[in-house]
Amino acid sequence: MRAVLAVIAAAFLLAVPQALAQPREGFGDLADQLSPAVVNISAAQRMRSEANLPTFPPGSPLERFNDLLGDNPRVANSLGSGFIIDARGLVVTNNHVIEEADEVEVVFTDGRTLPADIVGVDPATDLAVLRIRGGSGNFPFVRFGDSDAARVGDWVIAIGNPFGLGGSLTAGVISARGREIGGRYDDYLQTDVAINRGNSGGPLFNMDGQVVGVNTAIFSPTGASVGISFSIPSNIAAPIVRQLAEFGETRRGWLGVNVQAVTADTAEALGLASPRGAIVSRVDPDGPAYAAGIERGDLILAFNGEVVPDDRRLPRMVADTAIGSRVSVDVLRRGEPLTLEVEVQRLDEPDAAPARPVGADSDTPGATPSSRTVFGLTLAPVTDALRRTHRLHPDARGLVVTAVEPGSDAAGKVRVGDVVEEIAWTQVSTVDEARQIARAAAGESGRPVLFSLNRQGQFILQSLRP
């Protein structure tokens, strides 16, 4: 019987195409080649006490507690990963790894540590670009590949800094493409590569040693890897990185419309063979679409000569269009096809941060902490620009969620673009107010606090823990 089973197993292995088999030699050669260009990111934020608490006199046995209880700065550290993309020391990582940082350092595999400046960040895609200060100026680097060529089932490896342990390599396959987890430009690669806290900002490599993704988030009820991780595709990351490196900010195109999906029933009613395109649900009267004659109810089928497959793809197509260019927009209006010409304008993105050196305290003496984070939510007051960026409901009042910290209790419950209107049934209008109310409601025990959200005009009630 054993002999029969052995023959069957051998026949099965011979039938498996070589391309689908696990690499017989492992990933050692790739690790040797790529690891020197992958760095650990150490970001520190100087924090000041929010209350003028008494300090202990010099020489007192309790003097060591002054840093915790007094007015002296405290330092909050975060660890992540990144990778060098040119010999001059340009580094790519996640925005949430270095957000609000006063000091950023990169740590190499050989133990060297060098300071870095923040060149620019893009909260919308959670990307950041750093520039290493000092060093040889001839750093090892890796290159972006073509993420559109990556297929479900392809082998990929991640190199990063999980849990601050240092350079680690994990391997797996691409599980799915086009995943959406709450952002406006989401088109994530899903993998089963083991990604944990500290891997954020690290590279996802294909078997040619090219970066096809930037590891950004995981789906996990425990906070650790359960085999579902998400990476920003290189074809989305690379143009953003180029803009941040050149301008210190992103320069996205803007059409000035809100769109919704075409359902199967809607497609049938419109005479389409299958759902495609994006239906215009609102036109900004100050936007270029309004000036071009685009109307609410129009079905956008093509933009700049490229077919619009769905409502998720259109914002990316517009964002990638050069500012000031005139493009054609093919629409279906009440059953009649029309082609309109629109001049793409620049999207106003108030959350984008320009280049700045880190290491100098940007706060004035005695100022309160500059953090805009409450219970894992990065918040900002509602502005006209944010209304356009996140397509907020006209009645929304309060604080806009501009980022959600991966691994926090809010992850999976709150989305970017939600508006926090009340915390513990109390209206909020400033971040400091929100922080104080949330902390008071949570108490010392850290009990859950009710957040009232406006999500595209719908009332959502979520309980969040600190």
Q: Which residues contact 419 (CB under 8 A, 6 or more apart)?
A: 382, 392, 393, 396, 397, 398, 399, 400, 401, 453, 454, 455
**Helix/strand/coil for 432:** helix
- Paired tokens of 166: 């240092």
Q: Which residues contact 21 (CB under 8 A, 6 or more apart)?
A: none
- Paired tokens of 290: 């309004």
Cα–Cα distance, 101 to 42 (Å, whole number): 9
Amino acid present at 203:
P
Catalytic residue among 102, 122, 126, 186: 126
Largest CA distance in the chain: 84
Cα–Cα distance, 307 to 245 (Å, whole number): 30
- The pairs formed by 300-304 with CB atoms below 8 angstroms and a separation of 24 or more are 300/257, 300/259, 300/329, 300/330, 300/331, 301/276, 301/277, 301/330, 301/331, 301/332, 301/337, 302/328, 302/329, 302/330, 303/327, 303/328, 303/329, 303/330, 304/328, 304/329
Catalytic residue among 200, 231, 234, 408: 200
CA 7 to chain CA centroid, Å, is: 49
* 168 belongs to the catalytic site: no
As beta bridge partners, residue 78 has 43
Cα–Cα distance, 242 to 248 (Å, whole number): 9
Q: Which residues contact 83 (CB under 8 A, 6 or more apart)?
A: 37, 38, 39, 91, 92, 93, 141, 142, 202, 203, 211
Catalytic residue among 42, 78, 81, 96: 96
Amino acid present at 288:
P
* 370 belongs to the catalytic site: no
* 390 belongs to the catalytic site: no
- Paired tokens of 43: 């970001």
Cα–Cα distance, 295 to 280 (Å, whole number): 7
- Paired tokens of 135: 């060093």
The dihedral of CA 215, 221, 224, 225: what is its sign?
A: negative
As beta bridge partners, residue 257 has 283
Please list the active-site residues: 96, 126, 200
